[in-house]
Structure 1
Amino acid sequence: MVSLRCKIIVKQELQKLGLHCVNVELGTVEIRESITDSQKEQLRQQLQIYGLQLLDNKRNIIIEKIKAIIIEMIHYSDEIPKINYSDYISEKLGYDYTYLANTFSEVKGMTIQQYIILNKIEKVKELLMYGELNLTEISYKLHYSSVAHLSNQFKKITGLTPTYFKGLKKKRLRNLEDL
């Protein structure tokens, strides 16, 4: 999901270049006119000021779309899809999953599954810090087969157990209270 702020910035920068935006979505901007190389370079430079990137390479656009789907699915959706991630991503983008997986691996140097795991662990860390859910509830929410599976994956990625990680928050809070 492209943030409203990003859409507004892109539209404004296109208008400054005399281009009329028809539609702005993740990885794609539809404009009425043809864009010159000079306009494209000016747009690239202006977007960089805002921390945005102009992607004109199809593979990079696909990678950014895959990443956005995974991030939205794990971090911003209340319910993670119960279908396979591969089917979900393939369905959302309209490409064969093998093509998407190979492209992602070639460009990012990791598999889509590894990227999903990294994002799931980040979500686990976030949920542990909020302290509203216990490990069993987090495991269920993120569709882990068991708490042990979540714990093993967490330790493999972070080097810490989920319980120890959660304890770090309490220790930091105590240290702040002592100040």
Structure 2
Amino acid sequence: MATTKLYIKNMVCDRCKKVVAEELNKLGYTVLHVGLGEAEITTEAKEIELEKIKEVMTDNGFDLLDDRKTKLIEQVKLAIIELIHQQGEADLHVNTSDYLAEKIGQDYHYLSSLFSSFEGITIEKYLILQRIERVKELLVYNELSLKEIAHKLGYSSVAHLSNQFKKVTGLTPTHFKEVKEEKRKTIDKVHE
């Protein structure tokens, strides 16, 4: 019995992983592992029905990736999302290029060039957009001071965070907190 690794776009949270696992089980596959953006399955059948899997994933708001370069782009996005939204504070003080190269097992310059050509923005810009979405989330929760948020997300200072936040949103963090009109985006839609 062979295993198959599937790469799935727009799968960015624990609820997404649960839906993917349930849908693959309904199709008769044994799910060995489900992580952000990927699932590993086995089946008793001789062939995996990729078209059927693709249809079910699309019905649930996901995309099944089948091109190697597209898979790498998705891995970069998921690694950044994981770094910003799901890891501990210490992880945000790492060198992003080293982190991505090690996590994905590819040269960073290659990943950076590929990402820019496919997505139309740089990895650095995507990382900034993800950080700002995380800042918005933490501001809405109102549990941490701006200084604590800056430290938690690896900013060198509150001024650095504030300047970057204003460049991206047009608002200062304090003003954002007051009006809360700038709706947050889902993390898979940040660059759109």
The within-5 A match list for 1:21-100 is 22-25=32-35, 26-27=37-38, 29-31=40-42, 35=47, 39-81=49-91, 82-100=93-111
Where do 5+ consecutive residues of structure 2 fail to align? Answer: 1-11, 182-192
CA–CA distance in structure 2, aligned partners of residues 97 and 34 of structure 1: 37
Length-normalised TM-score, structure 1 = 0.81
CA–CA distance in structure 2, aligned partners of residues 127 and 23 of structure 1: 30
Match of 2:6 in 1: none
Corresponding letter in the other structure for 2:160: H
Which of 114, 117, 129 does residue 125 from structure 2 map onto?
114
Match of 1:147 in 2: 158
Where do 5+ consecutive residues of structure 1 fail to align? Answer: 171-179
Identity, % of aligned pairs? 44
Corresponding letter in the other structure for 2:138: L
Length-normalised TM-score, structure 2 = 0.76
Alignment size in residue pairs: 165
Q: How much does 1:79 deviate?
A: 2.0
The structure with the greater share of residues assigned to helix is: 1
Q: Does 1:8 align with 2:18?
A: no
Computed over aligned residues only, the root mean square deviation of the Cα atoms, in angstroms, reads: 2.3
Q: Do the aligned partners of residues 80 and 113 (structure 1) sit closer, same or farther apart at CA in structure 2, a change above 3 Å counting?
A: farther
The within-5 A match list for 1:99-178 is 99-169=110-180
SS at match of 2:63: coil
The structure with the greater share of residues assigned to strand is: 2
CA–CA distance in structure 2, aligned partners of residues 114 and 49 of structure 1: 30
Work out whether residues 27 and 65 of structure 1, in 8 Å CA contact, stay in contact via their aligned partners in 2. no
Q: Looking at CA atoms only, which structure, 1 or 2, has the larger radius of gyration?
A: 1
